[in-house]
Amino acid sequence: MAVLSKAGIAAEAFVTVGVGSATVHAHEAVRKGCDTVLACGGDGTVHEILQSLVGTDVVLGVIPLGTANALAADLGLLASPAKVMRTLMDAAPARVSVGRIHYHDNAGNPASRYFTVAAGVGADALLMSRMDARLKRRLGYVLYLIEAFRVWATHTFPLFEAELPASGNGDKRVVEVSQLLAVRVRSFGGVLRYLAPGASLRNGSLSLLAFKTRSRFRYLLFLLAVIARRHTFAREVELIQTQSIECRARNGSDESFFVEADGEVLGLLPVRIEVVPHSLSLLVPHGAQP
């Protein structure tokens, strides 16, 4: 706020007090005619604010203050809040595409959310569902590692169906997967870095990581390869470019599959994930390649 004041920029600060309050504050900012909303938090805060800004001309800026800051990492904004603020003051708004996930909440009601980082079905959403908010504040990124190991060691990785749109010959393609991740960012930062080659906020497509295996060993090998930046894609772990995808449980299956977007657990299958082209104005620093 001091940096903004010194630059002669009028701004007002709001503190989030619970789930959904960031969405309310952002909606109010749009109603008041503000030209920019700065999300000061992690990917969860960005996700909430995003819901009020998609489809408007109000610009979104990101100041990383959370446990997970993947969007900020993708924009090259991992620095002190004051330094990031100065960088954003020289940044230019760019129109980017966002993802949208249609899902069913825990009561079975249809709903949808926009996302900028990634949306997932399967083990990653199960991981997010196990994150304790109090422990997350105390342990930070370490808690992600602990829970990831627990999921890897105990989860059975059941299969569900993912249906891709019709190809040139008119046939839809259905694959059975234990994990599906629809990625929108080029870099997650941290050990994951460039998880899905070709992913970009400027793209009009989703970069899908489809794990067509239930093998813990295969999951581990892929993760180690990602950390070493030597991962490749083959029959068991496929990289797919598409504008949309639908996921559902297999016939006769009684398994429950969690769904998440930007690290926020939303509900259960079935889902449809798509791209909404040029729907968000985002402050992009000069030289950044999101």
Which 3-state string (H, E, C) describes 66-104?
CCCCHHHHHCCCCCCHHHHHHHHHCCEEEEEEEEEEEEE
- 255 pLDDT band (50/70/90 cuts)? confident
Round to whole Å and give the CA distance between 123 and 115: 18
Residue 94 has pLDDT above 70, yes or no: yes
Contacts 24+ apart (CB under 8 A), 134-141: 136/67, 137/67, 140/67, 141/67, 141/68, 141/190
Residue found under tokens 């995808």: 245
Confidence at residue 142, expressed as pLDDT on a 0 to 100 scale: 73
Mean predicted lDDT score pLDDT of the chain: 90
At 141 the pLDDT is 65
Domain boundaries, the chain: 2-96+280-284, 99-277
Rg of the chain in Å (alpha carbons) = 19
Superfamily per CATH, domain 2-96+280-284: Probable inorganic polyphosphate/atp-NAD kinase; domain 1 (3.40.50.10330)
The pLDDT, as a whole number, for residue 18 is 84
| Annotation: CATH topology of 99-277 | Tumour Suppressor Smad4 (2.60.200)
169-180 confidence digits (pLDDT tens)? 667 899 999 999
Checking if the pLDDT of 218 tops 90, the result is: yes
Could you read off the pLDDT of 54-93 as tens digits, one per residue?
999 999 999 999 888 999 999 999 899 999 999 999 999 9
